[in-house]
A and B are shown apart, each in its own frame.
Chain A
Amino acid sequence: MSARLVIDVSELPHHEFDTYDPVWWGNNFLLAIESSMFAILIATYFYLRQNFAQWPPPLGQLTSSLNPLPDPGYGTANTILLLLSFIPMILVDVSARRGYRAAAQRGLLVCLLCGLGAITLRAFEFSAVKFYWDSNAYGSIVWFMLGMHLLHLITLSCETLLLTVWSFAREFDMKHRVDMVALAVYWYWVVGMWIVLYAIIYFTPRVG
C-alpha cells in the first residue's frame, strides 16, 4: 500500500465542442495548410500577370474584338448559392451543439444539395473561362484555381454526405456532433475562400 496524492478526472466529459476537442484543432490545422496553399496559388496568379501586357491575353488576331475576360454569370450564381448555404450550415452548427437531431438532419440535406449545386455550377464556370489550361499561363493558373477549389467542394460534399448518412442511420452521439461542428468550420472556410477567389478571377482583371 502506498498513499498518493491524486486528481480524480472520472467526472470529466468525453467530448466537448470547439477548442476542447483535439479534432477541432486537427481540422483547423488542415485548413491552415490549405490556406497557405491558396495564398501561394493567389501569389502565383499575380506573379504570372506581370508577364502579360494584357491580362487575360487577347483571344487572337482575328477575334481581338472579343472580350477575353471570363463571363461572371455562373461564378456569381455560385457565389450567391454558396452564401445562401451559410443558412442551412449555421442550422447544422447550432443544432449539433444543442442536440436537435431533426433540425441537423434537415440542415445537412439542404447543405448536400447546395454542395452538389455548387459543383454543377463550377463545371459551367470552366466553360466561362475563354482559355483552356493548355492555352497559356493565364489559362493554366485560372483552371488550377477553379480546380483546387472544386476539389474542396467535392471533399466537403463527400464529408457532408457521410455525416448525413450517419445522422439518419446511426446515433446522434457527441462524437459525431463534434464532427458536425468541425464540418461547419470547413464549410465556412470553403465559402470564404471562394469569395476571395471569385473576386480575384472575375474582377481583378477588370481593374487596373
Chain B
Amino acid sequence: MKQQSKHIKQATVELSTAQLAREKAELERTWARPRGVIGWLTDTDHKGIALRYVVTAFVFFLFGGLEAALMRIQLARAENHFLSPDLYNQVFTVHGTTMMFLFAVPIMTALGIYLVPLMVGSRDVAFPRLNAYGYFVYLTGGILLYTSFFLNIGPDAGWFAYVPLAGPAYSPGKRVDIWAQMITFTEISALCGAIVVIGTVFKMRAPGMSLHRIPLFVWAQLVTSFMIIFAMPAVMLASSFLASDRLIDTHFFNPAEGGDAILYQHMFWFFGHPEVYIIFIPALGFVSSIVITFSRRKIFGYTAMVLALIATGFLGFGLWVHHMFATPLPQMGQGFFTAASMMIAIPSGVQIFCWIATLWGGKLSFKTPLLFVLGFVAIFVLGGLTGVMLASVPLDLQIHDTFFVVAHLHYVLIGGAVFPLFGAFYFWFPKWTGRMLSERAGRWNFWLMFIGFNLVFFPMHQLGLKGMPRRVYTYLPETGWGSLNLLASIGAFILASGVVVFICNVIWARRVGEVAGDNPWSADTLEWSVASPPPNYNFHDLPTVNSRYPLWSRLENSPIVRGLSTVKRETLVTSVLDAQPELRFEIPGPSIWPVLLSIATAIAFIGGIFTPWAFLVGALAAFGVFAGWFFGDPNHENKTARNTGERSKTPLTNKELQPGEV
C-alpha cells in the first residue's frame, strides 16, 4: 500500500549469466525438498502435496468406480444374487461417500493447491504446513473408511446417513460411527485447503495482479474456498451430533426426547447443496482456462463471468431445501426454494453463453482438453435441465428417491466435474510431468467415456419415471426394468474402459511421451512461463503482470521482482486489492509437526468411536505437538538472518541502482 511504496524502487539492471547461475544454485539449495520416507512425511512443497492429493484422490476414484461396477453387475438383470443385500448397502454407501468426500472435493482442491501459487506468481502457498496437515488428515479419513469396508463393517446408511436409519436405534454397531468420523477428517482437510487457497490468493499475488486481472481459474478456486468456509461447519456439526447421539446418548435427532430427525436433513443439506457447487465451481475454472487457450481468444465477458461465479456461490446456499421437498415443510418455504433453485440457472447460463461467445469467433484447436470441455457443455446442460425439473415440487414428489434423481446427479457431477477434470488432466499433465499425453489415446479416452456415460445414465431417467427406486439391491422381472438396466450396465463397462485408456496413457506418457517444453499449448497464465515440471521455487525472479493474460501481453517487458533472499524461503506478500508489494515473507520449510498433528487428530477421532476418553488423549497429544511446533523449530528465521546477513538477497547488480523510466 501507500505506506510501503517508499521501500520500492524501479530500475533497469544488467544481470550477468554467471550471477543468474549462482542465484539458481542457491535457490535450488534453499528450496530443496527432503528425500526418503522422512522426507515424504516432512515435505511441504505445494506441488508435491498437490500431486499426492491428485494420486490419492484418483486411487479413491478407481475404488469408487469399482464399487459402481459391482452395483451395475448386480443390477444388470432381475433377481440377481451377485451381491447380498447387506453388501449392496455397504457398496452404494461407500461408493457415494468415496466419490463425494474422498475424490471430488479433494481433487478439486488439489488442482488449486498446485496451480494457484503458480498462476498468481508466488513461490509457495501462504501456509504450507497447514497444507501438509490437510493432506495427512484426508489420507487418514480415506484409510479409515476403506479399512472398515474391507473388514465388512463399512457404513451402510447411504452417503448422507439420514436419521433415524443412521441413529442408534436402527444402526447398531460401529458402521455409522466410522462414516461420521470419516466426514470429520475430510472436512478438516477441506477447510485447511480453503484457508491455504484464500491466503495465497489474497496475499501472494504478483505485483500488478489487481482483482480485475486474476485468472478465472483462481477466481473459481477463491469462490469455492469461501463456500467451504461457510458450508463445511454444518456437516461437521451434523456428523458430530450424530456421533454423540450414538456414542454418549444425546438426543439431537431423537423425537422421543424433543430431538428432530428433519433437523439432520437441514444441517446435512445446508452443507450438501453448496457441496455440489464446491465440486462444480473449480471445474468451471478448468473450463475457462481451456476455452481461453484453445480458442486463442480473451474470454468474452470477464466481469460477467466473475460475477456469475460469485452469484453461484451465494445462491448455492439458498437451495438446500429442494433436497427435502418430500418432507412436511411449509408450502411457502418450498416455493421460495423452488424459485432459488430455478434462479441458479441464470448465472450458469451466463457462463455457458460467455464460453460459447468466446469459442464462436475463435480459431478452435480441437485437442483432447477442448473435447472434454465440449462434452461437459453437452452433458451439463442436460443435467441442468433435469435440475430445473426437480426444482418443481410436484414433479419432485413424483420422482423423489427414484433412478431419475440418480441420473440427474450423475449428469451434473460427472458432466459438471469429471469431464472438465479429465480435460484439466490432459491440459496440465505436461506442466506436472514435463511430458505430453497422447492425443490419439486422448480421443479414445474421451469418446469411450462420453458414449459410455450416456449409455449408463440416460436410461436411468426413464427407469426413474417408470418407478424404479434407488438403493434397492434387486428388482422383479415383471417390473420390465431389465433391458434398460442391462443397457446401463453395458454402458458402465464402456465408461470404465475409457478410464483404463486414460491410465495406460498416463503410464505411457510418463515413460516415452513427447517432451512438453514450458508452454506446449501457448496458454496465457503464469504457470506456463516456468519449466515443466516447475522448479521447487517456482520462479527464479517473481514476475509482475500488466494484463489479464500475462503471457500473451509480452511478459518479458514487464518488470521482475528483485531483492528477495536466495538463501531463505522468501516470497513477496502483496496487498489484497491492488497487489502492491508489502512484505518479504518467509515461508516455513519442511517439518515433521504436521504429520504428528494429524496422528493426534486420528487418536482423538478414531479412538472416539470406541471411548470418549480418546478425545482427551488426542487433545493432550495435540497440545504437545503444538508446543513442539512452536518451540521446536530451530528459530530458523532469526538464525539465518544472523548468519548470512543481508548479502543473501538477489542483488540488483554490483553497480549503483540506476533510476529507470517505466
Contacts and interface: CB of A to CB of B under 8 A. Distances in A.
A166 to B, nearest CB: 7
Contacts of B252: 44, 48, 137, 140-141
A16 B582 CA distance: 9
A162 B229 contact: no
A144 B582 CA distance: 42
Interface stretch (B39-47, B175-183, B365-373, B625-633): B625-633
A29 B652 contact: no
A20 B573 contact: yes
A83 B553 CA distance: 56
Contacts of B13: 3-4, 6
B127 interface: yes
B559 A6 contact: yes
A137 B259 contact: yes
B580 to A, nearest CB: 10
B662 interface: yes
Contacts of A32: 229-230
Given A4-B559, A33-B233, A44 B248 contact: no
A133 B245 CA distance: 10
Interface stretch (B27-35, B291-299, B561-569): B561-569
Interface stretch (A105-113, A169-177, A195-203): A169-177
B17 A1 contact: yes
B649 A10 contact: yes
A36 interface: yes
A12 B8 contact: yes
Nearest to B257: A136
B199 A10 contact: no
A117 interface: no
Nearest to B266: A47
Given A11-B8, A33-B229, A51-B258, A136 B582 contact: no
A19 interface: yes
Interface stretch (B334-342, B397-405, B502-510, B583-591): B583-591
A179 to B, nearest CB: 9
Interface string B123-138: 0001100100000000
B237 A5 contact: no
Given A22-B203, A139-B250, 19 more contacts: A5-B558, A7-B560, A8-B8, A9-B8, A10-B584, A10-B652, A11-B9, A21-B585, A29-B195, A33-B191, A34-B233, A40-B237, A133-B248, A134-B249, A136-B251, A137-B250, A137-B252, A137-B259, A170-B635
29 contacts: A1-B16, A3-B13, A4-B15, A5-B12, A6-B10, A6-B11, A6-B559, A6-B652, A9-B564, A12-B563, A12-B581, A12-B584, A20-B573, A21-B583, A21-B585, A22-B126, A25-B199, A33-B229, A40-B270, A41-B237, A135-B257, A136-B251, A137-B254, A139-B250, A140-B244, A140-B251, A144-B244, A154-B619, A165-B631
